[in-house]
């Protein structure tokens, strides 16, 4: 007991330091979990059809709403790649009663999804911008990049998923996802590239 009495100050300081360390670790875990929950999570999937008639769906799996700014299609052939924005939907034209249906831009709440069109229609939109777009038989893969803005952060967010084309039954085209999941664009370098591409499209338009 005498030893405890003699070293009570050091023991008390040790317990205080240990308590402070526990609180720091707890606070760090809390902030990390909070940041993860507010981090955008965009899912790009396909379905409701076969081959190029399958539809492409964009789903917001994050807890915060996002605003879809752009959808970029990258077509790869043996000779190289070409990119085009496929945000606006020409298949509806001016006959749509609701103008918002003529674009893929707009808010997307948590758990919400949007059908941005069939892969055939995405290729047609890209071909209207670039008539030199290769024929379907020459295309090896299609990558879709979604660009979004959030209220939680000033920088842009996004996601990309690649799909591979191959000969299907008869004269059809088979469409398969090249990866099991959608790659999230989170690095500062990739987000800066997204902003540069979006600004370049705005100037060109």
125-156 residue pLDDT tens? 888 887 878 787 788 999 999 999 887 666 78
Is 108 a residue whose pLDDT tops 70? Answer: yes
Read off the tokens for 204. Answer: 């060109």
Most confidently predicted of 17-21, 168-172, 201-205: 17-21
Q: Round to whole Å and give the CA distance between 137 and 158.
A: 29
Q: Round to whole Å and give the CA distance between 53 and 175.
A: 9
Are 89 and 101 a contacting pair, CB within 8 Å?
Answer: yes
For position 129, what pLDDT does the model report? 80
Task: Over range 47-51, report the average pLDDT.
Answer: 85
Lowest mean pLDDT among 9-18, 37-46, 77-86, 104-113: 9-18
Task: Over range 182-204, report the average pLDDT.
Answer: 76
* DSSP codes joined into one string, 125-179: HHHHH-TTPPPGGG--EEEEEEEEEESS-SS-EEEEEEEEEEE-STT-EEEEESS
Answer with the residue of higher pLDDT: 153 or 107: 107
Answer with the residue of higher pLDDT: 188 or 92: 188
135: CB partners within 8 A, 6+ apart = none
Nearest to 65 by CA among 116, 111, 115: 111
Domain range summary for the chain, segments of one domain joined by +: 2-36, 40-204
pLDDT category at 164 given cuts 50, 70, 90 is very high
Q: Round to whole Å and give the CA distance between 145 and 158.
A: 7
**Secondary structure letter of residue 42 according to DSSP:** E
Are 164 and 81 a contacting pair, CB within 8 Å?
Answer: no
Is 49 a residue whose pLDDT tops 60? Answer: yes
């Amino acid at each position: 007991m005498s030893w405890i009495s003699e070293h009570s100050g050091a023991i008390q300081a040790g317990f205080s330091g240990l308590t402070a360390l526990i609180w720091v670790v707890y606070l760090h875990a809390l902030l990390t979990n909070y940041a993860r929950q507010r981090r955008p999570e965009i899912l790009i999937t396909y379905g409701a059809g076969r081959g190029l008639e399958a539809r492409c769906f964009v789903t917001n799996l994050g807890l915060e709403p996002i605003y879809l700014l752009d959808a970029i299609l990258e077509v790869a052939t043996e000779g190289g790649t070409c990119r085009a924005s496929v945000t606006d939907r020409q298949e509806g034209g001016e006959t749509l009663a609701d103008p918002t249906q003529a674009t893929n831009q707009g808010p997307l709440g948590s758990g919400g999804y949007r059908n941005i069109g069939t892969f055939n229609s995405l290729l047609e939109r890209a071909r209207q911008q670039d008539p030199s777009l290769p024929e379907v038989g020459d295309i090896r893969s299609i990558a879709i990049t979604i660009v979004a803005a959030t209220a939680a952060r000033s920088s842009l967010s996004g996601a990309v998923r690649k799909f591979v084309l191959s000969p299907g039954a008869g004269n059809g085209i088979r469409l398969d996802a090249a990866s099991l999941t959608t790659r999230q664009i989170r690095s500062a370098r990739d987000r800066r590239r997204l902003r540069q591409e979006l600004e370049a499209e705005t100037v060109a338009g």
